[in-house]
Chain A
Amino acid sequence: MGAGHAHPLYRDGDSWVHRLPAEVKIVALVVFVLAVVATPRELFWPFAVYAVIMMVTWWAAQIPLRWVLPRMLIEAPFVVLAVLLPFAEGGEQVRVAGVSLSVTGLYAAWGIVVKGTLGVAASLTVAATTNARELPLALSRLRVPAVIVSMLTLMIRYIDVLGAEIRRMRLARVSRGDSPRMLHQIGATAAGVGALFLRSYERGERVYLAMLSRGFDGRVPPLAMGAGSAAAASSRQWVLALLPAVAAVAVSLSAWVLR
């Protein structure tokens, strides 16, 4: 573990959240996000409770705020979109500091920002505590079709190979005087993308031949994926991991009842 070979969003650690099997965390994430999305946006208190749930999870996973917050900037483009809504929507208007804002637009913006933020926060938590190599086995345990699992497995493996190939091709272009930032040289970049596609296609053929040579018959054997990874989740782990998600569902339901 932790030899610098995980995805960039992974934060190495040994908390009990890290030790949970990935399939449990995926289910917990989906349930939590659905609960958040289903919460009526006219209320404010449920979202405060969700934020507290996230904070507790981060504490349990030993993820400091200064690690999470910069990575949450990924949602910035959506925030920009949300900011425009109060100006664009029609209906009932309020005046704030001399500017007329739409009430439904304000609620819509608030809903997008708060639900998006919570969704990103929850996803980052799973990403930070789950190594990419656990994903294929976790997805197959969740009965995701084998074809999709193998595609994901291959993607995880070859994204680095492709990245290295792109860097080498770019270096070779730049050393011959190409400046990829100049618009008039976009042709070279485009040809590079085409060459990369062909190379990847040919590599795909070779990988398939190599797999065929080791008895591949269309599905990745589960035991091969399981070698060296965590055992399937115990019921205690399911309960533990689903606690935040179940709490979120309870909050969402009571929000609807109390509304």
Chain B
Amino acid sequence: MSVPAVRVEDLHYTYPDGHIALAGVHLDVAPGERVALLGPNGAGKTTLMLHLNGVLTAGRGSVAIGGTAIARDTLREIRRRVGLVFQDPDDQLFMPTLAQDVAFGPANFGVRGAELQARVAHALAVVSLTELADRSPAHMSGGQRRRAALATVLACEPEVLVLDEPSANLDPVARRELAETLSGLDATMLIVTHDLPYAAQLCSRAIVMDGGQIVADGPIGEVLSDADLLAAHRLELPWGFTVPVR
């Protein structure tokens, strides 16, 4: 088997206030795989996500990206290879104009000059926001801001893309447009979400977390069809939704 894009081994993390967020997480994600990370509020999903690029440091256990273990001297490399898209685009977009914000990541990683311009132009084209390059993120719609936040991460050309609740607060059209953008990307993807139909649309595999551990892992169709499993972890399909057969 090839080197996994993400390998998490026996990951433990306790917050400074004593709250145990992760209690022994094991996870392998193959390159190019799209995985949905499901679970009730407080299951440890966001904590796991913050470990994937070393923003939080493991209490015990290890995280490796494409065979490179996260350590102090590989942190920069890891952050270039793992892109995190946060839930609230206002947390992610902080520069005066969209183009400046998209350039922020690659410039931090040492990209300069014409290549930087090309990266910015490409990332904006992927999310169809080229014409808003000189606008302030404050004056965009919710859907545009979400795609803008995605562009700021895409410009770093990550191998692994981690998205926190990408469909939250989007109108149906913006939600569909984002799904189309995401399904056109080649990166390995971890999507943290409560939106089960969205997960079913985008991902082939689902992981259910609860109490800081992975409690289920399998093809998304199987996981979402297991009503008992969903009920046991405060998940449920929206009314009228049936899992489509692939």
User: Chain A contacts of B53 at CB under 8 A?
Assistant: 213
Q: Which of B86, B108, B139, B152 contacts A221 (CB 8 A)?
A: B108
* Contact B94–A157 (Cβ < 8 Å): yes
Q: Enumerate chain B residues within 8 angstroms of A114, measured Cβ to Cβ.
A: none
Cβ-defined contact, B135 with A224, below 8 A: no
Which secondary structure dominates where chain B touches chain A?
helix
In whole angstroms, what is the CA distance A217 to B110 when docked? 12
- Indicate if the CB atoms of A206 and B88 lie closer than 8 Å: yes
Interface contact A157-B79, CB-CB below 8 Å: no
- Scoring A161, A207, A221 by chain B CB atoms within 10 A of each residue's CB, the highest score goes to A221
Closest beta carbon of chain B to A37's beta carbon, Å: 31
With a CB–CB cut-off of 8 A, which chain B residues contact A215? 76, 79-80, 105, 108-109, 156
Set of chain A residues within 8 Å of B138, measured between Cβ atoms: 5, 157, 160-161
Chain B residues with CB under 8 A of A214: 79, 83, 104-105, 108, 152-153, 156
Tell yes or no: A210 within 8 A of B by CB. Answer: yes
Q: A5-B136, A209-B50, A221-B104 are in contact. Are A133 and B91 (CB under 8 A)?
A: no
Q: How big is chain A's contact interface, by range? A: 35 or more
Q: Is A187 an interface residue (CB 8 A)?
A: no
Q: Name the residue of chain B whose CB is nearest to the CB of A220.
A: B104
Is the CB–CB distance between A225 and B105 below 8 Å? no
Complex CA–CA separation, A207 to B94 (angstroms) = 8
The reply to whether A228 and B90 contact each other, CB–CB distance below 8 Å, is no
- CB-based nearest B residue for A216: B108
Please determine whether B86 and A206 come into contact, CB atoms closer than 8 angstroms: yes
- A167 is an interface residue with CB less than 8 A from chain B: no
Question: Does B22 touch A at the CB level, under 8 Å?
Answer: no
A interface residue numbers (CB < 8 A to B): 1, 3-5, 132-133, 136, 153-154, 156-158, 160-161, 203, 206-207, 209-217, 220-221, 223-229
Residue of B nearest to A131 (CB): B96
Q: Which residue of A lies closest to B102 (CB)?
A: A227
Residue of B nearest to A133 (CB): B96
**Do the beta carbons of B96 and A136 come within 8 Å of each other?**
yes
A-B contact pairs, 8 of them (CB 8 A): A3-B139, A5-B135, A5-B138, A132-B96, A156-B96, A211-B94, A213-B82, A227-B99
Q: Does B5 contact A (CB under 8 A)?
A: no
A171 nearest CB across to chain B (Å): 18
Asked whether A157 lies within 8 Å of B137 as measured between CB atoms, the reply is yes
Q: Are B100 and A227 in contact (CB under 8 A)?
A: yes
Taking CB atoms, residues of chain A closer than 8 Å to B116 are 223, 227
- What 1/0 flags go to B46-86 for Cβ under 8 Å of A? 00001001010000000000000000000010011011101
Tell me the minimal C-beta distance from B202 to chain A in angstroms: 21
B128 CB-CB contact with A under 8 Å: no
Among the interface residues B50, B53, B94, B153, which one has the most CB atoms of the partner chain A within 10 A?
B94
- Contact mask B27-39 → A, CB, 8 Å, 1/0? 0000000000000
B residues near A220, Cβ cutoff 8 Å: 104
Closest Cβ–Cβ distance, residue A186 to chain B (whole Å) = 29
Q: How far is the CB of B84 from chain A (nearest CB, A)?
A: 4
Cβ of B112 < 8 Å from any Cβ of A?
yes
Give Cα A5–Cα B97 distance, bound, in whole angstroms: 10
Q: Knowing that A3-B139, A203-B90, A226-B100 touch, tell me 16 more A-B residue pairs with CB under 8 angstroms.
A: A133-B96, A206-B88, A209-B50, A209-B55, A214-B108, A214-B153, A216-B108, A223-B103, A223-B107, A224-B101, A224-B104, A227-B100, A227-B102, A227-B116, A227-B120, A229-B97
